[in-house]
């Protein structure tokens, strides 16, 4: 018997808008702390298959030590690839590996009209020999 598909969640009060980084995710209303803002499917990709600009849009999924094979990344689909970086971020994500999703949720209350940010982590910047603005 097939399971009935469950629709993925996207908070109805977030939008994509132009910003200084190109595009970003913004709120249209106040969003409280610990609120899911989006569930995104992802493609599981071996680290060696990521190259050039694609490498800027993948998330660490699992290490070779964890699976005995290779480092794997997730290439997020949906709006997940449009979350920009801030050290003082208001959003985090986690991998729901049972459903093959990345789930973005707020870690702070976010006022209407504000951009949602994640922290890319120091390793992301160092591996590209970049310094965040």
| Domain containing residue 41: CATH number | 2.170.270.10
Three-class DSSP category at 73: strand
In angstroms, the CA 51 to CA 101 distance is 22
Cα–Cα distance for residue pair 102/9, rounded to 1 Å: 11
Coil vs helix vs strand at 118: strand
Does the residue 3 lie in any domain? no
Q: Is 123 part of a structural domain of the chain? A: yes
Q: Per the domain annotation, does 9 fall within a domain?
A: no
β-pairing, 14-19 with 22-27? antiparallel
Q: Which residue has 């990344």 as its token pair? A: 73
Task: Say if 53 falls within a structural domain.
Answer: yes
pTM above 0.85, yes or no: no
Q: Does 6 fall in a domain?
A: no
Within 8 A by CB and 6+ apart from 125, the residues are: 131, 132
Question: What is the C-alpha to C-alpha distance for residues 106 and 122, in angstroms, rounded to an integer?
Answer: 20
Q: Which domain holds residue 51?
A: 14-127
Q: 């991998």: which residue's tokens? A: 95
What pLDDT tens digit does each residue of the chain (133 aa) get? 677 778 899 999 999 999 998 999 999 999 999 999 999 998 888 877 776 666 667 777 766 677 677 778 888 898 998 998 888 999 999 989 889 899 999 999 999 999 999 987 766 556 556 676 6
């Amino acid at each position: 018997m097939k399971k009935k598909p469950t629709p993925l969640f996207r908070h109805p009060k977030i939008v994509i808008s132009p910003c200084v980084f190109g595009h970003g995710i913004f709120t249209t209303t106040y969003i409280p702390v610990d609120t899911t803002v989006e569930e995104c499917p992802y493609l599981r990709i071996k680290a060696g298959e990521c190259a050039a600009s694609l490498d800027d849009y993948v998330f660490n999924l699992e290490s070779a030590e964890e699976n005995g094979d290779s480092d794997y990344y997730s290439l997020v689909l949906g709006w997940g690839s449009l979350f920009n970086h801030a050290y003082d971020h208001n959003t985090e994500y986690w991998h729901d590996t049972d459903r093959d999703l990345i789930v973005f949720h707020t870690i702070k209350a976010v006022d209407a009209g504000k951009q949602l940010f994640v922290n890319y982590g120091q390793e992301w910047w160092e591996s590209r020999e970049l310094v965040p603005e």
